Amino acid sequence: MRHRLAIFSLLLSLSLVPLSARATASLLSEQEICPGRLVLRNSPKIKFTEIEKSFLCGDPQIDAWKYIPPAQVKFQLETFLQDRGYFQPRFTEEGDELVAELGEALHVTRIEAVGAPPSLDLRKRRGVVGRLLNPRLLDREEKWVEAQLKAQGYACPVVKSRANVLTGEVKIDIDPGRKQNVTSIDVEPVRRMNSEVLRRFDAFEVGKPFNNDFLTLTSKRVEKDGILQSTHFIPECREDGVALTQKTIAGKPRLISVGFGGDTEQYAIVKTSWRHTRLGRNASLFDISLFGSYKRQELDISNSWYLSPTARWHLMPVLTFSHDREAQYHFVSANAKFAFANSWDNQNLGLQYSFGPNLNYVDTFRGAQPGVTRLLSLQYDFHLASHYFEFYSNSPRTGFRLGLVGDFTNKNLLSEITAERFRLDGEYLYNFRGYDPPLLIFGVRGGFGGTFLKKDPQSLAALPPNYRFYLGGSTDLRGFGRQELSGPGLDGALSMAFTSFEIRLANVLPLWMQPIAFMDVGILGNQAFSFQLPVYYSPGFGVRCESPIGVFRATLARGFKSGGNDGVTDNTHLQFFISFGEEF
């Protein structure tokens, strides 16, 4: 914990550096902008750029711009002050000196859309009223409206804003144009790659309404995969619909990466990888990655092999060698997996799934019966997520995801035990009244898992740690320590269920602070679909900080158990967590 706090403190202090530099606006009696020429009086401190100053004070190095007459200074100052929200400065002259009193900065009092389609509700736009009124705000709101319309099928809207400098009222004039469907996609060719392979990343459907957010999501998927360095879509509105042109920047196909760093769980880590992102014309993926930390060392060799350019089906052989040393277990594992994988998207949802055999050797030193365990399992993995959950994954606010992973092993089929493991987990986020930026975000998270195993001690003893379930920690029950709960009298439970409710107040407090309150409830059992009391629950609260370098979360919760005794007396306590990068 102390280590985590140290890292947090370091990162927090780094993130707050810009804050300390941001001086709080204070009313100065006099601020001399150009000595003897221009002074601001009874005004907040204003910083002008060097170029702005040359337009206000003149540039002694250029004869033609040495002297700026007062009227021109006034004109330029008024223009520059617009950027800072001052629209009615008062000017006086004291000798040759121009004295400006800026008055109060103007803030937005009301925003109204004119000509908006019914689907665009400007009341859902938060954080505008009360904000400093300046050209950037108008730009931003125009862009926001445009983005909203483009997400609703209006591919080529015309949006113009205007603002009343006396009242602070903003009106946005909208000509949304027609709602249109995507009719075609034209891809800029990539050398030695079949252009059609890019369609496997599509988060939209041709023939369905245009949604620019999903085009962006598609681009992000491509770039995340690494198949291309960059890609983006250019929509063109035509009579029959929207024609898309997908621009591509391929970049080199091979990527080597070496990393050193720290982790909240594993402390110092080293990571290297080598990837080839465009193997063959179908742009298959080959990846070798090496991960090393004090607790875990892992070598992954994987390949995603596409047989057809248009198909999303692909073969996914994976070889993994790992060594895990945790407080409750210690083992070496080797996996050889051959999976069939596919993905599917419609206008709203994206589904990824894979299944295939996995041969796993585990040499357990601690946490289960020591010795080598061999498991041949049929693994399956389904992930369903709404596009907007994926779109906002960096700043979660809406949508859902659902994951189901599991495997089957059988003693009669090259496995030393018969076990069936599954885990279903999901998450649903609700943005209260659809505000943007959100005001209140309700989240529900849950998980349900179990391992079917013969009820004999040999099988239980041979069951490797990664077939067991633990609760506790920032991912499920936040009132308990990480994986502190292992079930009544067990070294890891065989069934698990938990749910978490969370409410987050977003974009209200300064300094990116977002307070949260939550309640986690969970239960463990000694066999699949069978749960034993006690019920664990942990109410708590915390704060989420969305800083420029990542998301910090700090939670304080109290763990309780109810309805039974798990034989552990010291596991109900206050628990403090700090996480970095974690959402929910």
Partner 1 sequence: MRYVWKTLRVLLVTAFLLALISAGGLLALLKWPQWVVNPKMFARLAHFSSRFGAVIGWDSAEIYPTSYSLFHKRFDFSFNHFCFNVKQNTQQGCLQKLQLGFEIEWKWKERRLKILDLGPLVAEGADVSILLPPAEKKKKESLLSLDVPDVVLPPLLQDAVFRNILLDFKRLEIKQGQDTYSGSFQLSMEPVEGKLGDVFVQAALEEGFGLKSAEFHAQVHSDSHFLKNDWLLTGNADLSLPSQATLKGSVKLYQVRPGFYSFEVGPEWAQGPIHAQLSMNGSVGKGQIKGAAGGEVAGFSKQVHRVTFQKCAFDLRQLDKNFGRARFTLDCPLKVGMTPVKLPSATATYKITLPENLDFIAKTNLETSFLPSLDKEVSGTLDLQLIPVEQQDYQARGTASIRFSGVPSRYPSGWSITSDLDASALIPHLQRWVKSLNQTAFAVPAPLNPLEGTVTLGVKGKVDIARNLGELPVVFKTELKSKDQTVNTDGKGTLKYQYSKTASKSDLTLDLMLSDLVLSLPRFGYSSLPTLFPDKRFYNPNVHKKVFRHDTFDYHVRIQTSPEHPARLVSNLAKENIPLSLDLNLENEKLGGSVQVGKTPLHFFRRDAEVERFKIVLKEPQDQSEIRGRLRVSYVDYKIDIIILGTVGRPTVLFQSDPPLSQDQVLSVLIYGRTFDDLDENKANSVASASAAFADKAIALGSLFLLASTPIESIGYNPSTGLFSAKIRLAEGTSLNLATQEGKTQQAGIRKNLGGNWIINTYIQNDTVTNKQSGGAMLEWNKRY
Query: Which residues 153-192 are close enough to bind partner 1 by CB under 8 A?
Result: 160-166
| Dihedral class, residue 183 (left if φ above 0, else alpha if ψ from -120 to 50, else beta) | alpha
Secondary structure letter of residue 252 according to DSSP: -
Site for partner 1 in 428-457 (CB under 8 A): 447
Among 21, 23, 27, 64, binds partner 1 (CB under 8 A): 64
Nearer to partner 1, 462 or 551 (CB): 551
Amino acid at 320: T
Q: Rounded to an integer, what distance in angstroms lies between the CA atom of residue 193 and that of residue 199? A: 13
Nearer to partner 1, 96 or 570 (CB): 96
Min dist. Cβ of residue 213 to partner 1 (A): 6
Pick the piece of the chain touching partner 1 (CB under 8 A) from 82-90, 120-128, 437-445, 527-535.
82-90
Q: Which helix (H) or strand (E) holds 351?
A: strand 349-366
Among 73, 203, 505, 557, binds partner 1 (CB under 8 A): 73
Q: How far is CA 95 from the centre of its chain?
A: 58
Site for partner 1 in 496-515 (CB under 8 A): none
Residues 350, 356, 362, 367, CA torsion sign: positive
User: Residue 108 phi/psi, 5° resolution?
Assistant: -70, 130
Among 55, 154, 388, 435, binds partner 1 (CB under 8 A): 55
Site for partner 1 in 344-363 (CB under 8 A): 352, 354
Among 181, 183, 264, 398, binds partner 1 (CB under 8 A): 264
> Which x/- pattern over 455-494 shows residues binding partner 1 (rule: CB under 8 A)?
-----------x--x---xxxx------------------
Nearer to partner 1, 48 or 531 (CB): 48
Site for partner 1 in 271-290 (CB under 8 A): 271
Apex CA 416: angle with CA 379 and CA 317, to 5°? Answer: 30
Can you name the residues that pair with 558 across neighbouring β-strands? Answer: 574
Min dist. Cβ of residue 173 to partner 1 (A): 10
Among 12, 34, 41, 70, binds partner 1 (CB under 8 A): 70
Min dist. Cβ of residue 516 to partner 1 (A): 16
Min dist. Cβ of residue 559 to partner 1 (A): 18
Exposed, middle or buried, 272 (CB in 10 Å: 0-12/13-18/19+)? middle
Site for partner 1 in 226-255 (CB under 8 A): 229-230, 232-234, 247, 249-255
| Site size for partner 1 (CB under 8 A) | 116
Can you name the residues that pair with 496 across neighbouring β-strands? Answer: 449, 524
As given in the structure block, the two tokens for residue 404 are 């189901």
Site for partner 1 in 211-230 (CB under 8 A): 212-213, 215-216, 219-221, 224, 229-230
**Residue found under tokens 């991912």:** 475
Contacting residues for 154 by C-beta, under 8 A, at least 6 apart:
117, 176, 177, 178, 179, 180, 210
Site for partner 1 in 301-330 (CB under 8 A): 304, 316
User: Residue 221 phi/psi, 5° resolution?
Assistant: -60, -45
Q: Rounded to an integer, what distance in angstroms lies between the CA atom of residue 496 and that of residue 485? A: 10
Among 181, 369, 393, 459, binds partner 1 (CB under 8 A): 393
Q: How far is CA 56 from CA 28, 34, 239, 367, in A?
A: 20, 7, 50, 74
Amino acid at 272: T
Position 34 contacts partner 1 (CB under 8 A) = no
Min dist. Cβ of residue 76 to partner 1 (A): 7
